[in-house]
Structure 1
Amino acid sequence: MLQQLTFRQLKNALEETQHLPRTLYSEATSSDNWRRIREDVNYSEFWRALEKQAAELIESPVRSPLFTEFTLFGDTGNRAVFQTQRDHLYAGIHAFSMLAMTEDKQEWKSGLDNAIWNVCNEYTWVLPAHVGLYHNDYPNGIWDQPVPPRETVDLLSGMTAFTLAETVYLLKERLHPWVVHRVKEEIDKRIFQVYFNNPTPQNWELKTNNWPAVCSASIGATAIYMIEDSEKLAGMLWRVIGVLRNYFSGFDEQGATPEGPAYWQFGFSYFVYFAELLKERTHGQISLLSEEKVERIAQFPQFCMLTGGKVVNFSDSPDEVTLNTGLIQRLKQYVPSLQLPNEEYHLKPVPGNWLDSTRLMLWSSSQTESLASTGSDERVQEQIFTGNQWVISKVRDSRGGTTAFAAKGGHNEEPHNHNDLGHFIIHVDGQNILADLGLGLYTKQYFQPSYRYEMINAGSHGHSVPIIDGCRQGFGKSYRSEIVYSQISEDNVQIVMDLTKAYACLSLEGLTREFIWKRPINETPQLIITDKAIFTNRPESFQEVFISSVQPQETGSGRLQMNSVTLVYDPEQWELEIEHIFVDSQYKTGAPFYRIVLNRTQVEREIISEFRFEMSEMA
């Protein structure tokens, strides 16, 4: 319905239902639902942590971030100091609102009044890392100016407005009326006037990543809660829906996003939250989740889930992702074929996020057994996502173990991009053995291409791709791959990528990488990679790089064993180097990886390289 919806349909639906009795976020208005999740043993630890946090906030109120903490990002690129202090300040909204929904205690009501008042006192709800998004040279040319840049709406300001609007809607009678009035004033000033009263597009409206989903959905949800006039609301929501259509265009026809499963959840969940509120506001006349493409998008993380909590984590994604079971169960109402993940992939509710945690608990079934995975009887689950050029193949053995292969192409200016065309992952026994380093440490420098692609997380030298005559892959949309052949047969998955345009190498005339993933029944899988490079002149060097999460052991000439995966290569053609590297990310510090570098001993104008990755029997 998202693509076919007209403004007239939207306006009519809002007007026709304006005076009808309605309830928004109906699950949260039921005292029985709150009693259920408060007494659910699965959430006992969460509620204990919430009460402890509330007691600490009452005993020791949190100060606002300092000005020098706010400007630290501009001075050094560090964003963690401010964001940590900001999270402490905002924690009271989430903690006291959830507790107040379950029990009418004066200290929780007072705590919530104070928490909301403190947030309304903030200079801006926009993170320092996102200040100045309108500026052409962002993030440069902002922090050294005599006056601050104009206000914008970013992820956190949109989510803050959404949270406050929902909290006021549900707890209005328990809040001080001045606090309620203040919330309405601040949302109008910081969100509605900034977004709707100025025709200049927001920086994120032109993107197709998670930003347009989170920002526009949050603004739209806030408007549904705050705006009574149906005609005015229709105009506001029409702009929001236009942005969401653009967001949907970032998914290929098979539902894949180049941002991977972690950012899939972040962006798509907010679209779902907004869609369900709009459905309630229009008494079911507008159901955006009935869109045909929703089914394919909703199924994407199922392909990315492997075993042991691991996922296919190309781009800026951690290698372990948990999913909101409330979100998945709500999507199952529209996509019955959707499978619930195993326990190891279940997201736990966290005290610091009202929007996600309440929906996780309130949208999840009250029947514990229904949260168990339905599993799959299929021996093979696989897909070639031709639009975004991902291939994922998972093979189950007779004992239920999973071996998986994934590879990617695309272009090198994707959302949360890494220069990684032709890169791949092999997953065996709960480990991504041939691995992706994942996201780096989020600083100002990490999001500036001149620094980002020198960092091993994002640069092609930190991925399992060749280095051609000393050249790494370049950054930009012009650096791209093409799928020249792909086939899924009974025993094999075969895909050939042309990687010539991934490199700005003057002597390179052509480069292809062929993957043959052999997975015959009753045999252990193996992967064969063949690279063919043609040069106009004989290159000075040619290197193949493979990234491993476990220490390689030489078990023979031309054989490197990495737990249950063995790399086989021709030792006459290659000299081996192994680098032990430690990688910092947003989630881990000093994670160990191994960079396997094979240097071609003899380079010619035409080089053909073949590598075989053999899987041993799974235990």
Structure 2
Amino acid sequence: MESTNLAEITPKIPKAGLELYYADGNAEAFWQYVKESTAFRSDLEEIRSEGERLLTLPIPELSYSLFSLFRTQGTRLEYERVYFERRRRLNTFALLTLLEPESKEYESALCEIVWAICGEQTWCLPAHVNGTYSLEGAIDLFSSETGFALAELNVLLGDRLPKFLRVLIADRVEERLFRPYLGGESFFWETINNNWAAVCSGSIGAAALLQIEDKARLAALLSKVQNTMLYYLNGLGDDGGCLEGLGYWNYGFGYFTYYADLLKRMSGGALNWFREPKVKRIAAFQQKSFLGKDAVANFSDTLPRSNVQIGLSCYLAELYPGEVAAPPAYLRADFREDHCSRWAPAFRNFIWRSAAVSADWDAGSFYLPDAQWMISRVQQGETVFGFAAKGGHNDEPHNHNDLGQFLLARDGEFYLADLGSGEYTRKYFGTERYSFDCNGSQGHSVPVIDGVLQSEGRAAAAKVLAVETGEEEDRISLELAAAYAGGKLSSFKRHFVWSKGGSRPRLKLEDEFAFASAPGSVTERFVTRIQPELVLMDGRQAVRLHAPGTYEQAEAGGSEVVQVLDDRLGLLIHYDSKLVEPELTSHVFRDHFGKEAAWYAVDFKVKALGLHANIEFKFQFI
């Protein structure tokens, strides 16, 4: 953002009021409109259903035994489930109190959870408390989010909250956010290039705009926030791509936007991040990420399926008309979907909802040169096909060792998949990170060369040899030898040709290997969540992946397909049986929610090994 004198502008920032959120500051008229509008019918059903559920339950306790589990056994989910359930109560009863101002039951439930959250020993998660386990002055993602939420509720509800609770909120936000942020040493996230910078600084900045009345102090705090936002933006490419994936785009860029919106409004437009061309390019990342329905290019620690925060998406589409696409209405995220129960997006799904919605994303092919991602969405009749491939390097935020990884999807179902994010534990972010299948190259559609997996680190980087997007074909060629350290490999070129014409798109993959001396083994691996089978097609061997839901499997523990319900839908992998020998194996990993999930490796072992090998595969949708 252009250089601006905060000391001159900050004194002109008014006290926060309801006009920040509602036309003419009329909250009553807005919430009456919400209750009468068919556009919000599903939202209201979800929130009221949650309210009924939560009214029957006591507030769960954040006990010492739960807090200590991360220290003693390295697991996080036990504490976090309770922590986020408490935030779910806060969101639900806050929204219901806004919707039903006459309800004393909702108002009482809200006061109880505000009191409970203000009484927590810390708003940080155990995994984010420093090694000395000192809680004083600790600020993480969730403590900053909590402070922002409470400060905003203080503005939104005003005198509807008891004076004692209003003072308590202000005191807690001051002591847990502003005082440590403005005093003492800097936090690591102030100069980091990922979502932490945007979420922590954005939440603190937003809370400060809503609560701090001392203008000199506010200017000092905003100066720090503005500087950290530059670090966040510098971590994203000029192409607007988010290497952490769409999930973290929603998170990091979402909180950037929530802060930037309040800053723009309260400064009368004098402080406006949205004028930055790069911010506009980042805003367009979401529409490029989808591969059909809710399937997304989920490289890195991102879930394979995503809905949209409809408020954020509508806001950006209206802010950048013609350049940021309006979101499809069917992709609206359910209120209950956010397992972290974040207030800022949940509230803005109401106040930022607009008519800026579409039937679906348009088809298109996109290449992000900084990320080295190619993403293509192809519409054939009523069917949407998706292809994505990546280069990049193996020191990316939330890194996976995955150079050359690619995805194939049809109507939102993945045939070649990325496992995405596993269960977050101490080991997951420690020295054992790449022993987890979802993080190491063993769990990606890339080769194992002479028994060597891909290495982590910035030196393990792809080189783009050629790239082209066109009406009929998309092509990308990568040199990937740098990913395989210490072996006999001299060169590994991977060529993708995505043909979009005809009745169905098809992919040709060609791998060219060159070695300094003959290797002992080369295994081409393709990863799928669909149980594969060997078949004969026109007298030639192939691997078939049936469309999900078109086949039945044997009882638990069995591996054979006992009945094919529909032979017409699926994916065939064609190969030269003279050059490679297939092997199908099943595996299990723990997903992001701590559940065991199956995945399958379709391996092709190269038969004749010399100094050179050229292996070709064709992927045909049927």
Q: TM-score, normalised by structure 2?
A: 0.90
Verify: 1:566 aligned to 2:562, yes or no.
Answer: no
- Counterpart amino acid of 2:156? L
Look up the match of 1:395.
378
- Counterpart amino acid of 2:20? L
Verify: 1:578 aligned to 2:584, yes or no.
Answer: yes
User: What is the alpha-carbon distance in structure 1 between the residues aligned to residue 470 and residue 79 of structure 2?
Assistant: 53
Q: CA deviation at 1:462?
A: 0.5
| The one of 323, 343, 353 aligned to 1:354 | 343
Q: CA deviation at 1:256?
A: 0.8
**Structure 2 residues not aligned, in runs of 5+:** 547-569
Q: Deviations over 1:126-158 (max 9, x none)?
A: 0011111xxxxxxxxx3xx6x636532111001
Look up the match of 1:438.
420
Look up the match of 1:481.
462
Q: Deviations over 1:399-450 (max 9, x none)?
A: 14222211011111211111100000011243221111111111121111x3
Larger mean CA deviation between 120-129 and 586-595 belongs to 586-595
CA contact (8 A) 1:460 1:473 kept: yes
Look up the match of 1:176.
162
Q: CA deviation at 1:229?
A: 2.5
Verify: 1:262 aligned to 2:247, yes or no.
Answer: yes
SS at match of 2:292: coil
Look up the match of 1:217.
202
CA contact (8 A) 2:474 2:497 kept: yes
Q: CA deviation at 1:19?
A: 7.9
**Structure 1 residues not aligned, in runs of 5+:** 133-141
Q: CA deviation at 1:388?
A: 0.9
Verify: 1:532 aligned to 2:512, yes or no.
Answer: yes
SS at match of 1:432: strand
| The one of 472, 492, 499 aligned to 2:473 | 492
Q: CA deviation at 1:120?
A: 1.4
Verify: 1:205 aligned to 2:190, yes or no.
Answer: yes
CA contact (8 A) 1:23 1:280 kept: no
Look up the match of 1:139.
none
SS at match of 2:615: strand
| The one of 417, 429, 435 aligned to 1:447 | 429
User: What is the alpha-carbon distance in structure 2 between the residues aligned to residue 264 and residue 415 of structure 1?
Assistant: 12
CA contact (8 A) 1:22 1:283 kept: no
- Counterpart amino acid of 1:471? V
SS at match of 1:483: strand
Verify: 1:110 aligned to 2:108, yes or no.
Answer: yes
Verify: 1:412 aligned to 2:394, yes or no.
Answer: yes
Q: CA deviation at 1:72?
A: 0.5
SS at match of 1:228: coil
Q: CA deviation at 1:469?
A: 0.6
User: What is the alpha-carbon distance in structure 2 between the residues aligned to residue 24 and residue 488 of structure 1?
Assistant: 43
TM-aligned CA distance change 1:59 to 1:593, over 3 Å: closer
CA contact (8 A) 1:120 1:183 kept: yes
User: What is the alpha-carbon distance in structure 1 between the residues aligned to residue 242 and residue 181 of structure 2?
Assistant: 27
- Counterpart amino acid of 1:178? F
1:361-376 matched pairs, under 5 angstroms? 361-365=350-354, 371-373=357-359, 376=362
1:39-188 matched pairs, under 5 angstroms? 39-44=36-41, 46-48=43-45, 50-51=47-48, 53-54=50-51, 60-102=57-99, 103-132=101-130, 142=131, 148=134, 151-188=137-174
User: What is the alpha-carbon distance in structure 2 between the residues aligned to residue 90 and residue 300 of structure 1?
Assistant: 29
Look up the match of 2:282.
297
User: What is the alpha-carbon distance in structure 1 between the residues aligned to residue 105 and residue 413 of structure 2?
Assistant: 47
CA RMSD of aligned residues (A): 2.3
- Counterpart amino acid of 1:110? S
CA contact (8 A) 1:25 1:277 kept: no
Q: CA deviation at 1:614?
A: 2.1
Q: CA deviation at 1:18?
A: 4.2
Verify: 1:599 aligned to 2:580, yes or no.
Answer: no
TM-aligned CA distance change 1:41 to 1:20, over 3 Å: closer
SS at match of 2:398: coil
User: What is the alpha-carbon distance in structure 2 between the residues aligned to residue 43 and residue 591 of structure 1?
Assistant: 35
User: What is the alpha-carbon distance in structure 1 between the residues aligned to residue 587 and residue 579 of structure 2?
Assistant: 25
Q: CA deviation at 1:235?
A: 1.7
Q: CA deviation at 1:270?
A: 1.0
Q: CA deviation at 1:581?
A: 2.4
Look up the match of 1:551.
531
Q: Deviations over 1:433-481 (max 9, x none)?
A: 1111111111121111x32211111110110001111000011222111
SS at match of 1:237: helix
User: What is the alpha-carbon distance in structure 2 between the residues aligned to residue 610 and residue 45 of structure 1?
Assistant: 48
Q: Deviations over 1:529-557 (max 9, x none)?
A: 12122222211111100012323232323
CA contact (8 A) 2:21 2:351 kept: no
User: What is the alpha-carbon distance in structure 1 between the residues aligned to residue 260 and residue 422 of structure 2?
Assistant: 32
CA contact (8 A) 2:77 2:594 kept: no
Q: CA deviation at 1:496?
A: 1.4
Q: CA deviation at 1:353?
A: 3.7
Q: CA deviation at 1:313?
A: 1.1
Question: Number of residue pairs matched?
Answer: 590
| The one of 171, 193, 203 aligned to 2:179 | 193
